[in-house]
């Protein structure tokens, strides 16, 4: 048992190192590195508790009978210190997000009649039970058709049970590398929070590669916006205010939708429909398929995109790759943006987000907020955690401010 305790200590400390140290351009190790860093980073306190429980059982069974067992316990103590630091680093997101919001809206951030609803804390129940999503007072209307291609053209609607006015809308686009994923899997903490506070949230599926090819994915996103504009009022939604969000591939598609409402080639058959959005909140997106800043050197997505998503090579069809890249479409007409990216994201590197934000800020006439979340991995806000709670609070505050500005000019 003492040898088992030593091995457990070595493995635990190695997993903690994955949480603390950023992995970049590490080839085939990138997927397991992501999963271990993601779960360990967001569930650091749970990991400490489980390691202590296992260590206690091993010690009770004789694991401390030799120096090997004590060495294992020492390594576990280092693991607990590292995970404790990871949780401390997660708590620092509060200052990061406060500074980001102040930079976009000023120190006197207020939303008359709305801001009182925005929480400034993370409930303990969310930290203790990170996978429980349902909130009292919120109903979900599932599998509403917005197109004619079965479940890939379905959406779910999250809204308050009691409604006394048309609801401002947030459209959520799921991630999954354009090849997997479903509307039921992501952004539930954010959507339930907003729906509990007077918003309507729409989570939409879209066609997936390799069966689908660009621009099918973005055409479907725009179809979902068109559906909200035409049919949203029948579900209590306000079609005059539609914001959009998404993570990973959803971050790419939400940004692309926000920046290309003037391009009829991306909405064939409904070219005259207004698909503009009032704000965009992309999480850990891919903003340049051509990787012009070299951020993904050594971890290039080019082969994957060319084979499964684009179906054409960038040398022969560069204009198509430009069309697919949000960074190619930044302009003075861009809506307000709140770009969110983790510093330790190993799948969508943070350098790409920095380049996108710099390009946006150089052109846009609207606020461009950017928050780098300390220590956060890809997909960090899929379930409840300290980082998730404070981040969705900030997104709520951002959207309420944009919505208040919209209402003032109506």
pLDDT at 233 over 60: yes
Q: Per-residue confidence at 279, pLDDT binned at 50, 70, 90?
A: very high
Judge whether 216 counts as a catalytic residue. Answer: no
CATH architecture of 93-409: 3-Layer(aba) Sandwich (3.40)
Contacts of 113 (CB under 8 A, 6+ apart): 404
Tokens of 73: 């316990």
The model scores a pTM over 0.85:
yes
The pLDDT tens digits of the residues spanning 142-176 come to: 999 999 989 999 999 999 999 989 999 999 999 99
Tokens of 171: 């459209």
Q: What is the pLDDT of residue 110?
A: 54
Q: What is the pLDDT of residue 114?
A: 57
pLDDT at 183 over 60: yes
Instruction: Name beta bridge partners: 204.
Output: 155, 173
Judge whether 345 counts as a catalytic residue. Answer: yes
Determine the average pLDDT of the residues in 230-251.
97
Catalytic member of 12, 209, 248, 254? 248
- Separation CA 381–CA 188 (nearest Å): 9
Strand order in the sheet with 337-342: 138-145, 154-160, 200-204, 167-173, 237-247, 279-283, 337-342, 368-373
Catalytic member of 345, 346, 355, 396? 345
Q: What percent of the chain shows pLDDT beyond 70?
A: 96
The residues spanned by each domain of the chain are 2-91, 93-409
Q: Where are the beta strands (DSSP E) in 64-221?
A: 138-145, 154-160, 167-173, 200-204
**Inter-residue contact 22 to 343 (CB < 8 Å):** yes
The pLDDT tens digits of the residues spanning 73-124 come to: 999 999 999 999 999 999 999 999 999 999 888 755 555 555 457 888 999 9
Burial classification of residue 231, based on how many CB atoms lie within 10 Å of its CB (0-12 exposed, 13-18 middle, 19 or more buried): middle
Judge whether 274 counts as a catalytic residue. Answer: no
Catalytic member of 252, 329, 378, 384? 378
**Inter-residue contact 317 to 250 (CB < 8 Å):** no
Taking CA 182 as the corner, what is the angle to CA 181 and CA 187, rounded to the nearest 5 degrees?
Answer: 95
Determine the average pLDDT of the residues in 325-332.
97
Tokens of 398: 């951002």
Determine the average pLDDT of the residues in 33-53.
94
**Inter-residue contact 12 to 76 (CB < 8 Å):** yes
Nearest to 82, CA basis, from 13, 171, 147: 13
Chain-centroid distance of CA 37 in Å reads 16
Q: Per-residue confidence at 398, pLDDT binned at 50, 70, 90?
A: very high
């Amino acid at each position: 048992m003492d040898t088992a305790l030593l091995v457990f200590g070595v493995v635990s400390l190695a997993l903690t190192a994955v949480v603390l140290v950023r992995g970049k351009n590490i080839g085939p190790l990138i997927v397991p590195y992501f999963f271990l860093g993601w779960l360990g980073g967001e569930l650091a306190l749970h990991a400490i508790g489980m390691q202590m429980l296992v260590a206690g059982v091993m010690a009770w069974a004789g694991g401390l009978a030799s120096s090997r067992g004590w060495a294992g316990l020492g390594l576990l103590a280092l693991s607990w210190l590292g995970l404790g630091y990871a949780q401390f680093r997660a708590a620092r997101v509060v200052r990061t997000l406060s500074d980001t919001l102040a930079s976009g809206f000023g120190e006197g951030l207020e939303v008359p009649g709305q801001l009182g609803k925005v929480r400034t804390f993370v409930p303990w129940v969310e930290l203790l039970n990170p996978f429980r999503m349902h909130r009292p007072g919120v109903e979900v209307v599932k599998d509403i058709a917005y197109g004619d291609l079965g479940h890939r053209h379905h959406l779910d609607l999250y809204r308050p049970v009691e409604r006394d006015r048309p609801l401002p809308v947030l459209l959520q686009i799921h991630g999954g590398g354009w090849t997997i994923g479903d509307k039921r899997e992501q952004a539930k903490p954010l959507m339930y929070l907003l729906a509990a506070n007077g918003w309507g949230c729409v989570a939409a599926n879209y066609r997936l590669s390799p069966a689908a090819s660009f621009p099918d994915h973005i055409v479907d996103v725009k179809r979902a916006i068109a559906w909200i504009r035409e049919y949203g009022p029948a579900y209590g939604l306000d079609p005059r205010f539609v914001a959009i969000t998404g993570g990973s591939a959803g971050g790419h598609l939400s940004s692309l939708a926000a920046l290309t409402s003037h391009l009829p080639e991306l909405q064939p058959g409904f070219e005259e429909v207004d698909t503009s959005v009032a704000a965009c909140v992309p999480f850990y997106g891919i903003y340049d398929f051509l990787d012009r800043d070299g951020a993904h050197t050594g971890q290039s997505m080019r082969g994957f995109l060319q084979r499964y998503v684009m179906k054409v090579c960038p040398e022969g069809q560069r204009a198509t790759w430009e069309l697919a890249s949000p960074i190619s479409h930044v302009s003075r007409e861009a809506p307000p943006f709140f770009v969110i990216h983790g510093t330790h994201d190993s799948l969508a590197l943070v350098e790409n987000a920095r380049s996108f934000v710099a390009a946006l800020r150089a052109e846009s006439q609207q606020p461009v907020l950017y928050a780098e979340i300390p220590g956060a991995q890809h997909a960090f806000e899929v379930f409840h955690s300290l980082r998730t709670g404070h981040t969705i609070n900030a997104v709520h505050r951002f959207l309420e401010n944009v919505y208040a500005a919209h209402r003032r000019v109506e």
